[in-house]
Amino acid sequence: MRKLWSFPGGIRLPGFKQLSNSDSIRSLPVPERVYLPLRQHIGAQARPVVTVGEHVDKGQLLAEATSFISAPVHASTSGVVINIGSHTVPHPSGIAEECIQIEADGEDHWYPALAPLDNIDKATPTELRAAIREAGIVGLGGAVFPSAAKLKPPRSIDTLIINGVECEPYITCDDMLMRSNAEAVLRGCVLLQRILSAGQCMLAVEDNKPEAMQQLRKALDILIKAAEPGAKDIELVSIPTVFPAGGEKQLIKVLTGQEVPAGGLPYELGVVCLNVATTAAVYDAIFLGRPLVSRIVTVTGSGISRPGNYQVPLGTPIQLLLDTVGVIDGEAKLIMGGPMMGQRLPTGHAMVVKGTNCILVNKPQPKMTPMPCIRCGSCANACPMNLLPQQLYWHARGKTFDKLERYQLSSCIECGCCNLVCPAHIPLVSYFRYAKTELADQTFKRQRAEESRLRSELRQQRLEHMQREAEERKAKRKAARLTSKKKTVSTKVMASPAVENAPHSMQVSND
């Protein structure tokens, strides 16, 4: 049994997992149209490589990565590209971004050039990373950071952690993935460990997922008996179900006892952490040659008549999902993600993207009126980042943003624990998000002001330099004219007959 540690704060929440994990993963019919945003990841937007009117196959490259922190986009079904332009994306603001729109032909035909990586056992880490990058794989646990970039840390890695923890209520997509495709997850673990040359690999699963753990143990035993290289190095670890144990920093603390420093990253401790869905996507890319074109999405909530988990092509309109599962109440609240850290969506016209793990539809609940803070300290006790939410709240409300940095507002992961335990029903996280936005705006304005000052100083220096050069050229021309004039006068004097015939004393005097 591995020794486990605990992180500060955290809360135990009702799971509501049974709503969606009692049935197998279902498939959706091919949507009539899919909308694929060029930015489904952190980093630079992808660049289209197809044109309107072009026929594409499922898995075909639509947009290429434009930088190291970027990811390509592939067709999630076969059909014709009918538009490359703005469309509503899943964001609380309802903002529109550039998308590639495909009208499906209904055949769902795979691109013929797709193939597994040659000689996988002898492939180098560089070749494996390249295949992962070309497949467009990003963090599917919600971070959507390009995985190929994450697998090339600036220092050596000792520990690989595979995150099978779904700490938020309602979400069960990773649970169902581990139950239904445990072998893909484990083989993906082996590949990732090879890429990182990590000494140990831990796959963490919450103790409220016994079926997933059972399937993983069976699959691991089969791989070990088959002498699969690297299988013996995988350790399955069951951890307590406490929210937010699935957070990267919290999970590292639970498994290793180490704390990622404020503002730091896990690789500084020699740790890399990846989600189980990302791991399975790596398996698909390397062993099957298939890019990331679909994912499992949990569709659940009190406002759903047929909750469950669905294999959904990327770009599928969310409204199609809602029509499939049946929405009981038209006024229900629509959230992408879980109830704690998910994003409220104003419309179902947006689409499923790589970071969509759950569509939550809950019946409207009566709003609680916020009351004055009673300074009970419950928020501080629940904070998993060991912050002081009460102080952050006062400074955010008072707009004394300079003091928020002292209380490490940037370390807040917006998990919502403080919101949930606050007896005064103060929307603390909303204040923190507002304060982060204001701080970012102030930082941006300071940077622009500094850039403007530097430009002004450089311009002034350039003008002064040009003026000095002009004055120097003027002085040189003047000196040249004087020298030329003196030479001319001297030549005239020396050539004068009067001077030549003058007495010797006069010539000496003139000299």
Bridge pairing between strands 200-206 and 159-164: parallel
Question: Bridge partners of 81?
Answer: 102
- Residues 445-474: pLDDT tens digits? 888 899 999 999 999 999 999 999 999 999
The pLDDT confidence band at residue 288, using thresholds 50, 70 and 90, is very high
Residues whose CB is less than 8 angstroms from the CB of residue 20 and which lie 6 or more positions away in sequence, other chains included: 170, 172, 298, 299, 300, 307, 308, 309
Cβ neighbours of 343 (radius 10 Å): 13
Q: Of 216, 184, 136, 205, which is closest to residue 280 (Cα–Cα)?
A: 184
Q: Of 258, 245, 189, which is closest to residue 220 (Cα–Cα)?
A: 189
Instruction: Kindly provide the residue ranges of all beta strands, DSSP E only, lying in 452-502, ordered along the sequence.
Output: none
The pLDDT confidence band at residue 479, using thresholds 50, 70 and 90, is confident
CA angle 85–334–98, rounded 5-degree value: 10
pLDDT at 496 over 70: no
The topology under which CATH files domain 375-489 is Fumarate Reductase Iron-sulfur Protein; Chain B, domain 2 (1.10.1060)
Q: Of 471, 466, 385, 142, which is closest to residue 276 (Cα–Cα)?
A: 142
- Indicate the domain borders of the chain: 17-27+128-325, 375-489
- 124 burial type by CB count under 10 A (0-12 exposed, 13-18 middle, 19+ buried): exposed
How are the residues of the chain apportioned to helix, strand and coil, as percentages rounded to the nearest 5? Answer: 40, 20, 40
How far apart (Å, rounded) are the C-alpha atoms in residues 115 and 290? 7
pLDDT at 503 over 70: no
Domain 17-27+128-325 falls under CATH 3.40.50.11540: yes
How far apart (Å, rounded) are the C-alpha atoms in residues 299 and 291? 23
What's the confidence (pLDDT) of residue 366? 84
Q: Of 271, 273, 176, 191, which is closest to residue 231 (Cα–Cα)?
A: 191
Residue 354's identity, in one-letter code, is K
- Residues 31-77: pLDDT tens digits? 999 999 999 999 999 999 999 999 999 999 999 999 999 999 999 99
The CB-based long-range contact list for 399-406 (8 Å cut-off, 24+ gap) reads: 399/438, 401/435, 401/438, 401/439, 401/442, 404/435, 404/439, 405/439
Q: What is the dihedral of CA 296, 301, 306, 312, to 10 degrees?
A: -20
| Phi, psi angles (nearest 5°) of residue 147 | -65, -35
* Structure-token pair, residue 264: 């730091």
Q: Decide if 343 contacts 336 (C-beta within 8 A).
A: yes
Burial code (b: 16+ CB inside 10 Å, e: under 16) for 263-302 equals eeebbebbbbbbbbbbbbbbbbbbeebbbbbbbbbbbbbb
- Residues 127-163: pLDDT tens digits? 999 999 999 999 999 889 999 999 999 999 999 999 9
Q: Of 99, 117, 151, 128, which is closest to residue 314 (Cα–Cα)?
A: 99
In the numeric block, the tokens 């689409």 are attached to 351
Residues whose CB is less than 8 angstroms from the CB of residue 247 and which lie 6 or more positions away in sequence, other chains included: 167, 384, 413, 415
- Residues 303-334: pLDDT tens digits? 899 999 999 999 999 999 999 888 877 678 89
Counts for the chain of helices (H) and strands (E), in that order: 15, 17
pLDDT at 16 over 90: yes
More confident residue, 417 or 363: 417
SS3 259: coil
Q: Of 298, 416, 388, 243, which is closest to residue 22 (Cα–Cα)?
A: 298
